[in-house]
Amino acid sequence: MGYYNNVFDECNDQTDTGRVLRDGREVILQAYNWESHKYDWWRNLDGKVPDIAKSGFTSAWLPPPSQSLAPEGYLPQDLYSLNSAYGSEHLLKSLLRKMKQYKVRAMADIVINHRVGTTRGHGGMYNRYDGISLPWDEHAVTSCTGGLGNRSTGDNFNGVPNVDHTQHFVRKDIIGWLRWLRNTVGFQDFRFDFARGYSASYVKEYIGAAKPLFSVGECWDSCNYNGHGLDYNQDSHRQRIINWIDAAGQSSAAFDFTTKGILQEAVKGQYWRLCDAQGKPPGVMGWWPSRAVTFLDNHDTGSTQAHWPFPSHYIMEGYAYILTHPGIPSVFYDHFYDWGSSIHDQIVKLIDIRRRQDIHSRSTVRVLEAQSNLYAAIVGEKLCMKLGDGSWCPSGRDWTLATSGHRYAVWHK
């Protein structure tokens, strides 16, 4: 009976799509940057899987797997072709098998807002997909981007045909492809690229049909700025992200761009920003932490694109914040593997403390100090931490220093 039960549990774990969000004990690694396609990437990651697993990551977000006009993968064309600039289909599948063996889930980057055509159609645009899998015609492309479909249900991604998700045949084909990635190729998690580009109701439909174990959407728009810099109050910004999560049926998390925007100003000596008017964390993490994926940088904001980078001298304070706080923290490949062993080891230490103190996505936060040069908080029952060069330590003798670094310290009970 015992064996049967274990098998049953394993099957349950693979199909219970709500379990990961309910459990809230994820730590994600974004396992690439903007330049990774130049470096035989699937093979490179294959060698790092044991370290990724040992470091405590539960999921690794991989770059888009399909053939693409641009080597980074964000201009997909033949969705069923898994030979890309990152490596061959064979190498990808071998990497996914190894990740499964080490119990690190593989997250696929799902780029379905737009798709590059193969042949000219209506209006002389490349808006037909003849000669490849899913050979759509112009009706699969929104009228706003040169197709014969309906208007877009979201923002346009300019310069390429945007996919018309209102078409039943398009959704049927996308669901078939997502199920193939999930059930045949071996991805378990999804990240939805440019999620502002189409209605979140379709994300809900796609998650319901393909049943990833965990999903996260990219809803990135600008924070609120005034003449002097970033506004203190970012409630309207985080509300837009919350609205997307709601519209996606609460089945997906979303990247907490609000926390990123605030945290990268706070670390420069404006720690008062880390407490909102209600005394809570000021990002999505403060309102709906179980759906907030916190991060410092990604392949767009950092890396060689550097559209909105986290200040490089402060990344350890940044990680000391997101890895001790509620939400679902995500670590960027560059910081973890390219910025030296000291930073790698400090991040691993913080992940280990998070696990040992059982900090999870819904842990409580009590902000004790939020001044220009000092932030201090108690998270859950058994962890407290400080940031900044203001001197502070917790009162009471039952706190023990767990780790400390440049301008941060963490204690546990």
Q: What pLDDT digit, counting tens, does each position of 226-245 carry?
A: 988 999 999 999 999 999 99
Tell me, yes or no, if 205 is annotated catalytic: no
pTM of the shown model = 0.96
- The yes-or-no verdict on residue 1 having pLDDT over 60 is no
What is the model's pLDDT at position 17? 76
Please state, in angstroms and rounded to a whole number, the distance separating the CA atoms of residues 238 and 143: 30
Which residues are CB-contacts of 329 (< 8 A; sequence separation ≥ 6)? Answer: 27, 28, 293, 294, 295, 319, 322, 323, 354
- The yes-or-no verdict on residue 12 having pLDDT over 90 is no
What is the model's pLDDT at position 314? 98
- The yes-or-no verdict on residue 88 having pLDDT over 80 is yes
Of 189, 218, 297, 369, the active-site residue reads 218
Give percent above pLDDT 90 in the chain.
94
- The yes-or-no verdict on residue 406 having pLDDT over 80 is yes
What is the model's pLDDT at position 322? 98
Of 72, 78, 193, 256, the active-site residue reads 193
Q: What is the pLDDT averaged over residues 3-27?
A: 69
Q: What is the pLDDT of residues 142-200, one digit of tens each?
A: 999 999 999 999 999 999 999 999 999 999 999 999 999 999 999 999 999 999 999 99
What is the model's pLDDT at position 7? 41
What is the model's pLDDT at position 2? 41
Q: What is the pLDDT of residues 273-325, one digit of tens each?
A: 999 999 999 999 999 999 999 999 999 999 999 999 999 999 999 999 999 99
Tell me, yes or no, if 109 is annotated catalytic: no
